[in-house]
Amino acid sequence: MALVSAHPLGPRNPALVVIPEGRIPVKIAKSATAATALLLVAACGGGGESQQDESTPEELTVWAMGAAQDSLQQYFDEVEEKYQETYPETAVEVEFVPWDSLQESMNTAIAGGDHPDVLQVGNDQVSNWAVQGALLDITEQVDGWSAAGDLDQGALEYGRYDGVQYGVPWHAGVRTLYYRTDWLEEIDAQPPKTWEELVDVATAIEEEKGVPGFAAPTDFTNGIASFIWSNGGEIAVNNGGTWEGKLDSPETKEAIEFYAGLTTDEEISPQSYVGENELIPLADMANSKLGMYIDGGWALGSMEEQAEDPSVVDAISAAPLPGADGTAPAFIGGSDLAIFAQTEYPEHAWELLKLMGGKEYGQKWADAAGFFPVYPELLSDPQYTDDPVKQAAAEQMQNTKFFPATPKWNEADQDQKILPKAVLEIVKGDDPDTVLREANENLTEILNKPVE
């Protein structure tokens, strides 16, 4: 069976990474070494059914993000069994790395510590690790992979940086609108499809049930972005290699003011969500203290854990996100598979990546992890169309967008929270024109910083 271990690095107290004296920078030497090894192994070819030779590894290490679960371990057992049909002497070792330990783990690996051969990274993190020299260039391999043409092409493109393919999409997830089916039946309403309907349904819920009809937390870039995109706005666009912030464009400004106004003007979202993310609304939704809110498919499991009355969760369903005039685009979150630049076995790692990211095992992973496969043709499977919550997400996945594909997006959003802070300031009463002009200047400056 596949070996599994918890990664030794914990979520707190990041260690100071010291690069030993005389070490050649990883992004140059190690990437070149791995690429050269890949070319040499490919040139040697492979004969025979097992393709075993003296360069075959005894084991390959995979870093999977998050906590070890029985369903995920079973998945890797199956992967190892399938992989060993071709490479019978190679074990697949799996290390589960907590998401909040990834930075520390990667820093250590880049500096020459223990590293994986294949790893899972957030799809919005690919460019960040690529510029640090942590990921192998797999452009040629992906170009020659027949399954690549069947992947979601937007998700595949998001795994590229500066014209180079570093990641292959592995699973996807989108946010949808959660609502109480029983409450909407009582007020004779359907899930809202537009902003106007959202306000009307939320107002009716509050009048009937005495709880907020909708949640508009301000620390919620993913949700706010959908409002912007549905109104024809953008966060930033790339013009010939230069990023141009769009937070102060008329379309984006209108959407942000509408979102902020759900708290201040329409008053369908309470002040208690100002400055918060979606976690507090999740708990309220699970305990009949909220009518509707936006979150991902993974939230339903958390609701089941937090619900004081489990029957409440049975009455919660989902619908595509309401937009200005119809379904709003959603950020298609998820993970990519990549090869660590320092792997000693780039060809074998690629074969493992292809197996894990192919249609059969890609879908198995998505199902085991509670997400969706990244092959659009698979979304018509009854398991996604027959369940209302999954069906809503599958429909939403036909209308998606991505954040700026630059490593500087992490600084702009995760470190400085430019968009959430702007919304927060507007909710608190600051002038929208001033707030968005300054936020846009800051965003543009950060996105155009040189990538070192």
3-class state of residue 176 by DSSP: strand
- Give residues with Cβ within 8 angstroms of 48, minimum separation 6: none
248 close to 437: Cβ distance less than 8 angstroms: yes
Say how far apart CA 166 and CA 137 lie, in whole Å.
5
Shared domain check, 190 and 262: yes
Structure confidence at residue 32 (pLDDT): 37
Instruction: Work out the angle between the directed axes of helices 346-357 and 70-83 (0-180°, nearest 10).
Output: 120
Residue 24 belongs to a domain: yes
Shared domain check, 322 and 197: yes
pLDDT in tens, 276-300: 999 999 999 999 999 999 999 888 8
Q: How many CA atoms lie within 13 A of 442 on its CB side?
A: 16
pLDDT band at residue 260, thresholds of 50, 70 and 90? very high
82 close to 361: Cβ distance less than 8 angstroms: yes
Residue 382 belongs to a domain: no
Q: What is the mean pLDDT of residues 227-255?
A: 97
Say how far apart CA 96 and CA 10 lie, in whole Å.
11
Q: What percent of the chain has pLDDT over 90?
A: 77
Shared domain check, 348 and 288: no
Shared domain check, 200 and 110: no
Shared domain check, 190 and 165: no
Residue 119 belongs to a domain: yes
Shared domain check, 207 and 160: no
Q: Into how many domains does the chain fold?
A: 2
Average pLDDT, the chain: 88
Domain containing 225 equals 175-329+404-447
Shared domain check, 420 and 274: yes
Shared domain check, 147 and 169: yes
Residue where a domain stops, chosen among 353, 374, 395: 374
Q: How many whole angstroms from its chain centre is CA 367?
A: 16
Residue 230 belongs to a domain: yes
Q: How many whole angstroms from its chain centre is CA 76?
A: 21
Which pTM does this prediction carry? 0.80
Residue 139 belongs to a domain: yes
Q: What is the CATH number of the domain that holds 441?
A: 3.40.190.10
Shared domain check, 200 and 311: yes
Beta bridge partners of 94: 4, 62
Q: Which of 284, 318, 275 is nearest to 417 (CA)?
A: 275
Residue 227 belongs to a domain: yes
Q: Which segment of 31-40, 56-65, 179-188 scores lowest on mean pLDDT?
A: 31-40
Shared domain check, 270 and 367: no
Structure confidence at residue 395 (pLDDT): 92
pLDDT in tens, 11-20: 323 222 222 3
3-class state of residue 333 by DSSP: strand
3-class state of residue 377 by DSSP: helix
Q: Which segment of 29-38, 167-176, 343-352, 421-430 scores lowest on mean pLDDT?
A: 29-38
